[in-house]
Amino acid sequence: MTECDIASLDNLRRRVSGAIVVVLIFFSLIVLRLWSLQINHGEEYKNRADSNRVRIRQVAAPRGHILDRKGREIVTNRPSFNVVLMREDSHDLDEVLKRLAPILNDEVSTLWSRVREAEGTPRYLPIRLKEDIDWKTLAYLENHNKEFSGIRIEVQPVRIFHYQDLAANVIGYLGAISKTELESADQTVYRGGDLIGKMGLEKLREADLRGEKGNSYSEVDARGFERKLLKSYEPLPGREIRLTIDVDLQQAAENLMEIGEKSGAVVAMEVKTGRILAIASTPHIRLNDFVGGISRDKWQELLANEKHPLINKTVQATYPPGSTYKMVTALAGLATGVITPDTPIYCPGHYFFGNRRYGCWKKGGHGTVTLKRAIEESCDVYFYQVGQRVGVDGLAEYAGKLGLGRKTGIELEHEKSGLTPTKKWKISRYQTKWQDGETLSTAIGQGFNLASPLQICQMTATVANGGKLFRPQLVEQVTEPDGKVVQTFKPELLEEIRGLDTYMAIIREGLIGVVNGPHGTARGAKIDGITVAGKTGTAQVVKVAAYRHLKEADIPYKFRDHAWFTSFAPAEDPEIAVTVLVEHGLHGGSGAAPIATAVMKEYFRDRLSVPDEEIVKEIR
């Protein structure tokens, strides 16, 4: 072998060795990559593969039912079929939305706006394009589902209202969770598009009512269409809420307020427990308007309504209490010793204080009156002088004992505390001293005084039961879907006024005279067989000289006085207190008392000799 051959052979060997090394390195890299994919990151890529093959859907939980005190269903659920877009499964979205819009009876621009609203959210979250579609639309989309990539049908429970809008402003409504709400919510519980309580008990009891979502796992093809269900976990329904409300009393109150489209409030309460039997605010919202989302036009209509249906007037609106406040003035006068039950005060129809004349509602005057008759006939002059002797701070002290000037603590949102004025308050609020003449207005429930209908009912119940101030109670019990009781609420005594039983009994005698006396201001509220006690009130809205010469019927609605009537029965052993406020109803005896009387008759239906059909006719 020549030297040339040897050199060529060595060169060949080097090339073969180099090639072997390259091949070994190449295979080593492959092995290392496979090791990385299968061993180090195998689980991760397995999950990614599964996620491309398996779709996980959340299944909305049925919300808990809401019942009345007797177990009658007020709010339950029904299935709603919604059209949703799954962006990760969508192909040629513009074309899909163009074909989908006429089927949903929507504009293409409307569907695109809903898609754009979801920008910035994860693509796996569904975008709700249309809620609560009808059966015809559902059938069409189900039969042509392969023509609409990324479009799915979502089944979601929505509310059924078995008594239409019963207690609407108390029950409240649901709506889609907003971005702001979602940011502050528990991200393990909520996601975009979820329905949550927006108002009333639906909002306040969200944690109990919402339930726990379920999940379904489905196998999908490359285009995102479902092939088969792999497994599912059923949702857990929300807890059941039993209220203290009685459906019959609530219906009676609302039906009576709707006659003539009255605006105002009715509250009925158990005197010895504080349980709420009826709590009506009118006009109220229409609950079905919110199912599937309220339209912009209807929302604007609610906002523009001068009678404010979005406000729960039982707790969120306050008014001068008018002559219902005379219970406070009477108690303060007796307790401080400035009067006795027999102290006589002469009423000529007016009272001069300083350089001003303060009139009595009865222009001819009541003559000489003592406490019982002053309450029965609602003599302003008598209470002017009692209030003057007690002083504004003394009135405020006893108003506070009866629950005025502070929140009642009921489980309702945005409750107002009302206003019980004092000398210190006026300096703080207006940087000016209290004027003694202002005490006279305060003593008859005018001036700066403000109270909600619920506060007046709580005050009335406290006088009726002899001085026990209960927290108004709206929820009786909370139970799990399996019937296990989670919470039971007992009556809560906030305070007890001690040592004033005799004085309260004297005031109750006067209140009995208001309804049953020969000159009482609410004689029309009398019920045969049941002794009703009560107090009328007229709350001045505004004094306008231009309307003083007009008949009441000719005064513009917004300038008419508010009408109060607050009552309890049976007077011998009180069970129920009923308070009615009719905005611009003019007089308590004629504008508010008939409503309270009809609610009382419904409550005492089984104890009255009046035929049922007469009670029903009166209520409806």
Query: What are the structural domains of the chain?
Result: 55-243 (3.90.1310.10), 247-285+311-619 (3.40.710.10)
Q: Indicate whether 340 pLDDT > 50.
A: yes
Which residues are CB-neighbours of 10 under 8 A, at least 6 positions away? Answer: none
pLDDT value at residue 245: 97
| Rounded Cα distance, 373 and 510, in Å | 7
Which residues are CB-neighbours of 421 under 8 A, at least 6 positions away? Answer: 392, 396, 434, 438, 442, 447, 448, 449
Measured between alpha carbons, how far is residue 68 from residues 249, 271, 429, 486 in Å?
11, 19, 43, 17
The per-residue pLDDT of the chain, averaged, comes to 87
> What b/e string do you get for 300-338 counting C-beta neighbours within 10 Å, with b at 16 or more?
eeeeeeeebbebbbbbbbbbbbbbbbbbbbbbbbbbbeb
Which of 368-382, 406-420, 598-612 is least confident?
598-612
| Rounded Cα distance, 50 and 192, in Å | 24
pLDDT value at residue 294: 78
| 417 in Cβ contact with 409 (< 8 Å) | no
Active site residue ranges: 323
pLDDT bucket at 543, cuts 50 / 70 / 90: low
pLDDT bucket at 546, cuts 50 / 70 / 90: low
pLDDT value at residue 237: 93
Please give the residue that has the higher pLDDT: either 479 or 541.
479
Which of 171-185, 406-420, 449-463 is least confident?
171-185
Give the single-character DSSP code of 37: I
pTM: 0.84
Residue-wise pLDDT tens digits, 471-516 = 999 999 999 998 999 999 999 999 999 999 999 999 999 999 999 9
Structure tokens at 226: 């479902």
Q: Indicate whether 121 pLDDT > 60.
A: yes
Which of 105-109, 240-244, 293-297, 570-574 is least confident?
293-297
| Rounded Cα distance, 148 and 442, in Å | 70
pLDDT value at residue 512: 97
Strands (E), 453-518: 468-470, 475-479, 485-488, 493-496
What stretches of 534-573 show up as alpha helix (H) in DSSP?
A: none
Q: Indicate whether 614 pLDDT > 70.
A: no
Q: Indicate whether 260 pLDDT > 90.
A: no
Among all chains, which residue has been given the structure tokens 């907003």? 178
- Which H helix or E strand runs over 574? none
| Rounded Cα distance, 16 and 347, in Å | 129
- From 282, 275, 276, select the one nearest 254 (Cα to Cα): 282
pLDDT value at residue 321: 96
pLDDT value at residue 547: 62
Residue-wise pLDDT tens digits, 53-96 = 677 777 889 999 999 999 999 999 998 888 988 887 777 888 88
Give the single-character DSSP code of 565: E
Structure tokens at 389: 């002797």
| 83 in Cβ contact with 104 (< 8 Å) | yes
pLDDT bucket at 6, cuts 50 / 70 / 90: low
Q: Indicate whether 611 pLDDT > 70.
A: no
| 320, 323, 327, 331: CA torsion to nearest 10 | 90
Instruction: Count Cβ atoms within 10 A of the Cβ of residue 397 and give its class: 0-12 exposed, 13-18 middle, 19 or more buried.
Output: middle
Measured between alpha carbons, how far is residue 574 from residues 271, 278, 464, 512 in Å?
6, 17, 6, 12
Measured between alpha carbons, how far is residue 240 from residues 43, 73, 206, 265, 348 in Å?
42, 10, 11, 27, 60
| 577 in Cβ contact with 268 (< 8 Å) | yes
Mean pLDDT of 212-231: 73
Q: Indicate whether 46 pLDDT > 60.
A: no
Please give the residue that has the higher pLDDT: either 234 or 170.
170
| Rounded Cα distance, 435 and 567, in Å | 33
pLDDT value at residue 120: 77
pLDDT value at residue 148: 86
| Rounded Cα distance, 422 and 420, in Å | 7
| Rounded Cα distance, 17 and 3, in Å | 21
Ramachandran area for residue 340 (φ above 0: left; ψ -120 to 50: alpha; else beta): beta
Please give the residue that has the higher pLDDT: either 296 or 566.
566
Q: How many CB atoms lie within 10 A of CB 247?
A: 20
| 381 in Cβ contact with 345 (< 8 Å) | yes
What DSSP string runs through 400-428?
Answer: HHTTTTS----S-TT----B---HHHHHH
pLDDT bucket at 619, cuts 50 / 70 / 90: very low
pLDDT value at residue 455: 98
